[in-house]
Amino acid sequence: MSKKKALSVLLTAGLVLSVNGVYAQGPEGAPNSNAASAFDNKIIKKISADNMYNTIDSLSKEPRAAGTDGELKGAQYIKGQFEKYGYETELQPFKIYDVIRNNVSGLVEIGGQNLNPYVFSGSYSGEVTAEVMHVGKAISGTVPDSVKGKIALIERGDITFVEKIQNVLNKGAVGVIMYNNSGSSNAFGQASYGQNIPAVAITRVQGLELVEQLKAGSFTAKIKVSGSGFLEKTSYNVIAKMKPHKNKDTGQIVMIGAHHDSVPGGPGANDDASGVSAVLELARVMSNMPIDTELRFVTFGSEEKGLLGSYHYASTLSSEEADRIVGHFQMDMIGSKDAGGDNKANGLIMYTIDGKKNTVTDLASAAGLRTALGEVVPYGQLGRSDHQPFHELGIPAALFIHSPLEPWYHTPADTIDKIDKNKLQETAEIVGAAVYQIARPDTPALEHSRVAPKPVDYDFENRPPGA
């Protein structure tokens, strides 16, 4: 059964009744109430903002930049906590590549003259001497086979640097000289790991001159690059699973995530030790709860390098497994005193990739009404965090964040003293109540219960995060 179908069966079974795609859960015997149900209370009464604060304090003592010892220490701390709570845990390693620029020097020599090029970020270090061939913008499908063994002279523009290098590399080029498509600068360009030919940049004037010279006859160039390349490092995801009892298993999975890496040099108290603290606290309070849905708590590494950990994790899911995931709740920056402005819901917003409501936002917005916040949570459209790869797999996913962001975002001042326990508590209660609404074991039998569904209405907000 597909996850969407399975969930709609669950819904019609009476877990929650969908009205215009919006649903809420009142307490037993109290139809249409927005008060917390006995099931909500099993979770929310146990959530401790003090525990969360202590987690943030432990994690934010030093930066946790991707691939550093700080990240590994943080990941091991998180794993240890999951283990303490009785979860099956895994430290999932993956390779990342950091650009090296150590006394970088670059040279393009033509007819005894040095063009003093800029070395592409991440360019392979090496030396080649070969004939130069102009290949225009190096758009795929337009690069001739005859560039093989030659240095490709490329015009900047229309497609990415990495794509241009790859298009000529695929045809056997041995070096890249790229000229600007406007202005007078030569400072641009980046190569990707594994593109093992030197790549340098020159100005537009220099490039057009070479194009003219080539019309008059062929010539060779020498490119020499040193001090540039990539350093391979290891980053980690931390995964904790709790499977339901065999005879109570719906086969579904619900995921709760955050990222544990910080930006280099930043303690990342709010970004995103705060999200990790909620993941750990929800893992703690749910560890002894009866469930009929697998719970998966994951903290991702290398989010700040471009969602690398969550993309890696998503790539390890079989399609059968991805199909069983009914929701991904991502918490990223959920505890800043200085975020959220005077927006409703204390600044909390749920961002989806497509700007549409989904199961996650429906359940969580309704949970907002029955928990400490006491209000529905609005939703909006934004990527920029680990909900992206799950959305791309067709999994309902949302980012929980306070928006607009605090001024300390991505600075060394993102420290524990800026954390607001109330915001932590409110957000963790919402996600906890929403998740447990899916995971609680009575759900398939709920068609016979007196639980009354109460739909909630919540708004789209065009709220830019401001950084």
Q: How far is the CB of 461 from ligand BES (least distance, A)?
A: 14
- b/e string for 254-284 if b means 16 or more Cβ within 10 A? bbbbbbbbbbbebbbbbbbbbbbbbbbbbbb
Q: How far is the CB of 268 from ligand BES (least distance, A)?
A: 8
Determine which helix (DSSP H) or strand (DSSP E) holds 296, and give its type and residue range. Answer: strand 294-300
Place of tokens 């929800």: 282
Count CB atoms within 10 A of the CB of residue 178.
27
Dist CA 121 CA 112 (whole Å): 26
- Picked from ligand BES, Zn ion, none, the partner binding residue 405 (CB below 5 to 8 A depending on kind) is ligand BES
- Sites for Zn ion among residues 329-358 (CB under 5 A): 332
Distances (CA, A) of 159 to 138, 163, 167, 174, 200: 9, 7, 11, 20, 17
- Picked from Zn ion, ligand BES, none, the partner binding residue 306 (CB below 5 to 8 A depending on kind) is ligand BES
Q: 134 forms bridges with which residues in the sheet?
A: 153
Q: Which stretch binds ligand BES (CB under 6 A): 88-96, 361-369, 380-388, 390-398?
A: 380-388
Can you tell me which of 61, 204, 384, 421 binds ligand BES, judged by CB under 6 A? 384
Q: Does 272 bind Zn ion (CB under 5 A)?
A: yes
Q: Does 355 bind ligand BES (CB under 6 A)?
A: no
Q: 213 by DSSP, 3-state: which?
A: helix
Q: Which stretch binds ligand BES (CB under 6 A): 20-28, 82-90, 378-386, 453-461?
A: 378-386
With vertex at residue 345, the alpha carbon angle to CA 350 and CA 285, rounded to the nearest 5 degrees, is 70
Tokens of 238: 């931390």
Q: Are 266 and 418 in contact (CB under 8 A)?
A: no
Q: Does 281 bind ligand BES (CB under 6 A)?
A: no
- Picked from Zn ion, ligand BES, none, the partner binding residue 358 (CB below 5 to 8 A depending on kind) is none
Q: Does 420 bind ligand BES (CB under 6 A)?
A: no
Q: Which stretch binds ligand BES (CB under 6 A): 76-84, 174-182, 292-300, 379-387?
A: 379-387
Number of residues binding to ligand BES, judged by CB under 6 A:
15
- Sites for ligand BES among residues 305-324 (CB under 6 A): 306-307
Count CB atoms within 10 A of the CB of residue 107.
18
Q: How far is the CB of 309 from Zn ion (least distance, A)?
A: 12
Q: Does 271 bind ligand BES (CB under 6 A)?
A: yes
Residue closer to Zn ion, measured from CB, 272 or 323: 272
Question: Which residues are CB-neighbours of 256 under 8 A, at least 6 positions away?
Answer: 279, 282, 283, 295, 296, 297, 298, 328, 329, 331, 431, 435
Q: Does 385 bind ligand BES (CB under 6 A)?
A: yes
Can you tell me which of 272, 294, 323, 426 binds ligand BES, judged by CB under 6 A? 272
Which is it for strands 379-381 and 294-300: parallel, antiparallel or unpaired?
A: unpaired
Q: What does residue 277 show for φ and ψ, rounded to 5 degrees?
A: -65, -35
Q: How far is the CB of 308 from ligand BES (least distance, A)?
A: 9
Place of tokens 């995801």: 237
Number of residues binding to Zn ion, judged by CB under 5 A:
3
Residue closer to Zn ion, measured from CB, 324 or 402: 402
Dist CA 462 CA 364 (whole Å): 19
Dist CA 451 CA 103 (whole Å): 68
Q: Does 281 bind Zn ion (CB under 5 A)?
A: no
Q: Which stretch binds ligand BES (CB under 6 A): 84-92, 206-214, 364-372, 382-390?
A: 382-390
Tokens of 400: 């929980």
Residue closer to ligand BES, measured from CB, 306 or 374: 306
Can you tell me which of 333, 345, 369, 434 binds ligand BES, judged by CB under 6 A? 333
Residue closer to Zn ion, measured from CB, 23 or 300: 300
Which residues here bind Zn ion, judged by CB under 5 A? 271-272, 332
Which residues here bind ligand BES, judged by CB under 6 A? 271-272, 303-304, 306-307, 332-333, 382, 384-385, 401, 405, 465, 467
